[in-house]
Each structure stands twice: as C-alpha cells, then as structure tokens.
Amino acid sequence: MTVHVEFYTEEDLPRSIGETLTAWGQVCFPDDHDITWTYTPHWHVLTRAERQPVSYLGIFERTGMVGGKPVRLGGIGSVMTPPEHRGMGYSSTALEAAAAFMRDRLGSTFGLLVTGPKLIGFYGRLGWQRVPGPIRFWQPDGADRSERIDVIMILPLAGEPWPDGLIDLCGLPW
Ligand SMILES: CC(C)(COP(=O)(O)OP(=O)(O)OC[C@H]1O[C@@H](n2cnc3c(N)ncnc32)[C@H](O)[C@@H]1OP(=O)(O)O)[C@@H](O)C(=O)NCCC(=O)NCCS
C-alpha cells in the first residue's frame, strides 16, 4: 500500500478535492455545534492511499498569547478520515507528517488542537499532551464560548516547556 501525505495551499487545492472534503465534513462532523471556527487553513494536508484521498487535516498558522507571551502555534483542525477508511493509521500518518512540517517548515514552537475526551488517547500516542487552559478565542458575535472546548492538547516542537496561563488564540478557533 502506497501512502502519501500532500500539502496544499488554498489556491493550489484541486477543486475536486475541495468537493470531496465538503462531503467528508458532513459525515465526520455532523453536529458541529455553535462555535464559529476558522474554516480555511493555511495548509490543507491530504493523505492518499494508492492515489485515492483517504484522510485530511488542516494546519492553521497563528501567533497566540500564552501566559501573556506570544507563542508561534501550529494549529491542527478538521482531522477526519471517512468511515470506510478508518483504523488504517491514515490520520496518525497525517498527524506525524503535519508535526514535522510545522517544526521544520513553519518554525512553530507548539502544535495546538482542541478535541473531545474520547480522542485523548489517540493524540496522546502521537506525543500530544493535554494542557489545562483556560482558553479564549474570538467569535463574531462577541460571545464567550470557551466552556464548549472540552480538551486542549499541545505538541512541543522546539524543545520548550509549555508556558502556564491563559491561552489566547488571538482569533477564531480551529
Ligand atoms: C478520529 C479519526 C480522525 C481517526 O482517523 P483514522 O484514520 O481512523 O485514525 P488512525 O487509523 O490513525 O487511528 C485510529 C485510532 O483512532 C482512535 N479513535 C478514533 N475514533 C475514536 C473514538 N470515537 N473513540 C475512541 N478512539 C477513537 C482509536 O484509538 C483508533 O485506534 P485503533 O485503530 O487501534 O482502533 C476518525 O475516526 C474521524 O474522522 N472521526 C470523526 C471526526 C473527528 O472526530 N475528528 C477529530 C476531531 S479532533
């Protein structure tokens, strides 16, 4: 089985892939609650097996503030594998490739993602660590929806310890 991980900017993403991702999103995130997310990532990360798209995630480059200091974050969002391709390691492969890309190409100090309790073990096996928050992010109507974020996880990419304190994403969440 030949598995490739490809990185596309928004401009470079083939239109047919965009349509595939929209369909996957409806299946993988059926009850996207009322948080307004950053929908367009800086990098679309597509995994193919035998040339067929099988898994996806987005990378969001953001300088956030953690404990009052600026931190270069590589945000990971929209991690999804459609049901027929799950359990084959495709998301794990994509997450490992994304971590190397954020570290070596983007110069991110930490990866950051938000998730639910069920996936702490999945991300944990790939080196992600749960951090306590609190977290803050922008919403178009000005509401504070930080309580809806269950789990915040970070991935150290530059050998630095995660700073204590409030995590301000300085924009919409991902
Ligand atoms: C989570 C998801 C991306 C995993 O994709 P995948 O390509 O199957 O991932 P991998 O094959 O690399 O790893 C699978 C592992 O994910 C974990 N996992 C996936 N879904 C899980 C769930 N609902 N509960 C617990 N563990 C889960 C398991 O540990 C599984 O390990 P196993 O193969 O030993 O059973 C996929 O299930 C998905 O798209 N889910 C819906 C969207 C979603 O929740 N995305 C994450 C947002 S933070």
- Give per-residue pLDDT as tens, 44-65: 999 999 999 999 999 999 999 9
The model's confidence at residue 39, banded by pLDDT at 50, 70 and 90, is: confident
What number of other Cβ atoms are within 10 A of residue 117's Cβ?
9
The model's confidence at residue 34, banded by pLDDT at 50, 70 and 90, is: confident
Domains in the chain, ordered, with CATH? 3-168 (3.40.630.30)
pLDDT at 1: 87
Q: Give SS3 for 162.
A: coil
CA of 142 to the centre of ligand 1 (A): 32
CA of 117 to the centre of ligand 1 (A): 12
CA of 74 to the centre of ligand 1 (A): 21
Question: Is the CB–ligand 1 distance for residue 55 below 6 Å?
Answer: yes
Burial of 7 (0-12, 13-18, 19+ CB in 10 A): middle
Q: How far, in Å, CA of 24 to CA of 27, rounded?
A: 5
**Quick one: tokens of 83?**
């049901």
Question: What is the pLDDT averaged over residues 20-37?
Answer: 90
Question: Ligand 1: which residue has its CA nearest to atom 47?
Answer: 79
Question: What is the pLDDT averaged over residues 11-23?
Answer: 95
How confident is the model over 88-131, as pLDDT tens digits?
Answer: 999 999 999 999 999 999 999 999 999 999 999 999 999 999 99
